[in-house]
Amino acid sequence: MTKLEKDCASVCEHLDDFLSTRQRNSWLYLPQIEIYIRKGRHCINGAATSTLDIASITVIQHRGEGFGMMVINAFHDRHPFVATYIESILNDKFYTKLKDVGWLDADNSPSQNVYKFKE
């Protein structure tokens, strides 16, 4: 297992801890990444949908190595909700990357929000 994979697994343990609580939202402050997550509901394609929201993400270690996308993909695979929702994306390059790998624009959103259903 590479250092990136080990660090991603460590971050995912914190997601698992959060998901096991009744808490609705949480900041995860870790040496590798700071990420704000929420158990949410959004109207997607006209239907109320349970989601894991990623409202803020800052990669601290492994910048430019794909660590942020690795964590997002791992979170998407692990959580029990119908979809993952990433909101208010400020970085155009990150937004384009997400769209290139299959994330969809959220309906009626004034900011750059994307979602992806679980398979």
- Which domains does the chain show, CATH number per domain? 3-117 (3.40.630.30)
Q: Where are any strands of DSSP class E within the chain?
A: 25-29, 33-44, 47-59, 83-86, 104-105, 114-117
Residue 94 in contact with residue 103, Cβ under 8 Å? no
Region for residue 96 given its phi and psi (left: phi exceeds 0; alpha: psi -120 to 50; beta: otherwise) = alpha
Q: What pLDDT score was predicted for residue 91?
A: 87
pLDDT tens per residue, range 5-63: 999 999 999 999 999 999 999 999 999 999 999 999 999 988 999 999 999 999 999 88
Counting DSSP H helices and E strands in the chain, the numbers are 3, 6
